[in-house]
Amino acid sequence: MDKDMDKGEDRNNAEGGVSRRDFTALSVAAGLAASAGSAHAALAVTESDVAIKTPDGVCDAAYIRPSTGKYPGVLVWTDIFGLRPSFRDLGKRLAGEGYAVLIPNPFYRTAKSPVVVDASTFDFNDPANRQKTGSWTAPINQPGAIERDAAAHIAFLDAQKEVNTAKKIGTQGYCMGGPIAFRTAAAVSDRVGAVASFHGGGLVTDKPNSPHLQAAKTKAQFLIAIAANDDMRSPDEKNVLKDTFAKANLPAEIEVYTGAAHGWCPPDTQVYNEPQAEKAWTRLLALYGKALA
């Protein structure tokens, strides 16, 4: 399905209005729900392309929610490959479990999504591709950029009729999205109640604004799923995380996933590990079930 947001879509950008191409579908079959450990069939969901005004421009995003009712909101931060079909599928699966899900294009300052359609075809050894990723990430690495985006995206969620604002917001991130999820929790600490990082990179640094130090000031519960090869490179990081959250008295599940390589969760990556990805998914639903209930 063409997701180009420049082709005559009727949106109210100021309100984060939805596209005419809203559609309703039974997203995520019962088999997917069962594989996630769910005891019920997936809910019917509605997917919309939306445009969200931020202090830095207009961000294209996917907003996916159950077709009826009000539910906790979840903000999903993608990996380096950005908003693409595999993350839309993830959003549908999560919405089918009873969450209103927003997946922004983190690179909206540079390009519309998708910047990559299928991550398995992306060659990081190609210098041209390395240059591309640098151009995508440079703007969001500027001071305050993530915090401005996080505030705008959560404000969008809170303005939607399908979002139960009496419930806390969840946020989850993959690879580069892991530290962004940490920073989101710190930037909007009154709203974020749960944070999940899957093979997140740079969670612990020696800088005073390190993501783990910011996250420790929040009121959230945490799930930190670490790739085995990331742990081999930085074996002390998990201990720093455990100590930080223990001192802050914040619930945190921190685990190294045996045999899982950096990037193992999205199914279109070259290192996708289905058994460990499903385990991580089950732990995510357990976190949200506790923290956003």
Tokens of 125: 């050894």
200 in a domain, yes or no?
yes
Computed on alpha carbons and rounded to an integer, the radius of gyration of the chain in Å comes to 18
Buried b or exposed e, range 199-232, using 16+ CB within 10 angstroms: bbbbbbeeeeebbbbbbbebebbbbbbbbbbbbe
pLDDT at residue number 36: 39
- Distance, in Å, from the CA atom of 259 to the CA atom of 239, rounded to the nearest integer, reads 19
Of 10-14, 52-56, 70-74, 185-189, the one with minimum mean pLDDT is 10-14
Contact between 28 and 92 (Cβ < 8 Å):
yes
Q: pLDDT by residue (tens digit) across 148-179?
A: 999 999 999 999 999 999 999 999 999 999 99
223: domain range? 13-291
pLDDT, position 12: 32
* The predicted structure's pLDDT at residue 287: 98
Residue 218 has a pLDDT of: 96
**pLDDT band at residue 293, thresholds of 50, 70 and 90?**
confident
Instruction: Write the secondary structure of the chain as one string of H (helix), E (strand) and C (coil).
Output: CCCCCCCCCCCCHHHCCECCCCEEECCCCHHHHHHCCCCCCCCCEEEEEEEEEECCEEEEEEEEEECCCCECEEEEECCCCCCCHHHHHHHHHHHHCCCEEEEECCCCCCCCCCCCCCHHHCCCCCHHHHHHHHHHHCHHHCCCHHHHHHHHHHHHHHCCCCECCCCCEEEEEECCHHHHHHHHHHHCCCCEEEEEEECCCCCCCCCCCCHHHHHCCCCCEEEEEEEHHHHHHCCCHHHHHHHHHHHHCCCEEEEEECCCCCCCCCCCCCCCCHHHHHHHHHHHHHHHHHHCC
Task: Report pLDDT for 262.
Answer: 97
Predicted confidence (pLDDT) at residue 41 exceeds the cutoff of 60: yes
Task: Work out how many domains the chain is built from and give that number.
Answer: 1
Report the distance separating Cα 287 and Cα 153, nearest Å: 21
Determine what percent of the chain is predicted with pLDDT higher than 70: 86
Instruction: Establish if 65 belongs to a structural domain.
Output: yes
Tokens of 291: 């923290």
Mean pLDDT of 142-153: 97
Domain CATH code at residue 143: 3.40.50.1820
For the chain, the average pLDDT equals: 89
Q: Is the pLDDT of residue 200 over 80?
A: yes
Q: Shortest CA distance to 182 belongs to which of 241, 108, 110, 115?
A: 241
Asked if pLDDT for residue 6 goes beyond 80, the answer is no
Q: Which of the two residues, 74 and 17, has the higher pLDDT score? A: 74
For 97-120, write each residue's pLDDT tens digit: 999 999 999 999 999 999 999 999
